[in-house]
Amino acid sequence: MSDTVTRAEPAAPTGSATAPAPTESAIAQMPLAKAVNAGLRQAMANDPRVLLMGEDIGPLGGVFRVTEGLQAEFGPRRVLDTPLAESGIVGTAIGLAMRGYRPVCEIQFDGFIFPGFDQITSQLAKMTNRHEGQVQMPVVIRVPYGGHIGAVEHHQESPEAYFAHTPGLRLVSPSTPNDAFWMIQEAIASNDPVMFFEPKSRYWHKGPVDLSGSAAPLHSSRVVRTGTEVTLVGHGAMVTVMLQAAELAAAEGTSVEVIDLRSLSPIDYGPIVASVQKTGRLIVASEAPGFVSVSSEIAATVTEMAFYSLEAPVLRVTGFDAPFPAAKLETVYLPDADRILEAVDRSMAY
């Protein structure tokens, strides 16, 4: 991240992740998609400057129904159905941000983001630095990403490394409904542009959401399972796969610690390094191809920061360095618990 990018966060009630009014039950069970919807609703209720933009997000509620009901509640001037033009969506959002709004753009599918790539990397990411901090870009770009939904070409990609490489952008990815609810509000509250990657294969999986709780820092990683012999690190849908692998490893007598990255740029290395200093081993898992990836960056950085704690090379379990295949081959392409467990065995063999 560029040091010249403004880091100040706005005070409530400008869209910050403040807790909603008390309800009869503070804990609600909901799918991740509904948790994003609830977070968007809360942010829009908190701040009239928040508006949503995207293809078919109005009456339809989006392809995945994440924005369902929001146009009926807030009106078509705050939930805007746009033309099929990602470059135009992002460009318009940049102009709106310059006029004091806090736009949230939906990219319908991960593979459709590339028509807007130039606007994101050449304009949105650089605008604050170009104006020496005088122009803020509180723009959120929601990106449903990843596989495991049996879709066709351009609908199951993991393009996060392109944007993590770009200074001036923040990148986050929730893996649970509770994180989705709070992190989308924190992203909207940020005065910097935030790429919000939503693991679409987790959209329909339910989990508890603490509606009256508080948010963990947006750019913090978190230990989700403790262990002593091997550290697994990943994000989004891969967190569930890593937990499955950790259960299999435990059955074979190996204690595995699992860390959810939550933030891809910046990365919170504190819990990762502390875990590696304890276990001596690190495996990074990701659906994206491994070459020049977020996984590569973590492997290199942890090797620099904790070299003398490592008892084995850092290993990566990723998608293959090839275009995402036809749906019937996605289970071969995407890392599963068995591939991660095989890496655990290799690491333990050193």
C-alpha distances out from residue 298 to 58, 79, 341, Å: 39, 37, 19
Tokens representing 75? 């009106």
- 148 in catalytic set: no
Q: Give the tens place of pLDDT for each residue, 19-68.
A: 444 444 589 999 999 999 999 999 999 999 999 999 999 999 999 999 99
The active-site residue, picked from 155, 205, 219, 235, is 155
Q: Which amino acid is at 180?
A: A
Residue carrying structure tokens 């604050």: 128
Q: Is the peptide bond before 13 cis (omega within 30 degrees of 0)?
A: yes
Ordered by where they begin, the domains of the chain are: 27-210 (3.40.50.970), 222-348 (3.40.50.920)
Minimum mean pLDDT among 4-8, 257-261, 299-303: which range?
Answer: 4-8
Q: Write the pLDDT tens digit of every residue in 325-346.
A: 888 888 888 999 999 999 999 9
Q: Which of 275, 262, 317 is nearest to 295 (CA)?
A: 317
Tokens of 278: 């304890």
| Average predicted confidence (pLDDT) for the chain | 91
Tens-digit pLDDT profile for residues 148-177: 766 667 777 899 999 999 999 999 999 999
Q: What is the mean pLDDT of residues 290-299?
A: 96
Reduced to 3 states (helix: H, G, I; strand: E, B; else coil), residue 128 is helix
Q: Which element (helix H / strand E) includes 194?
A: strand 194-199
> For strand 170-172 and strand 263-265, is the pairing parallel, antiparallel, or unpaired?
antiparallel
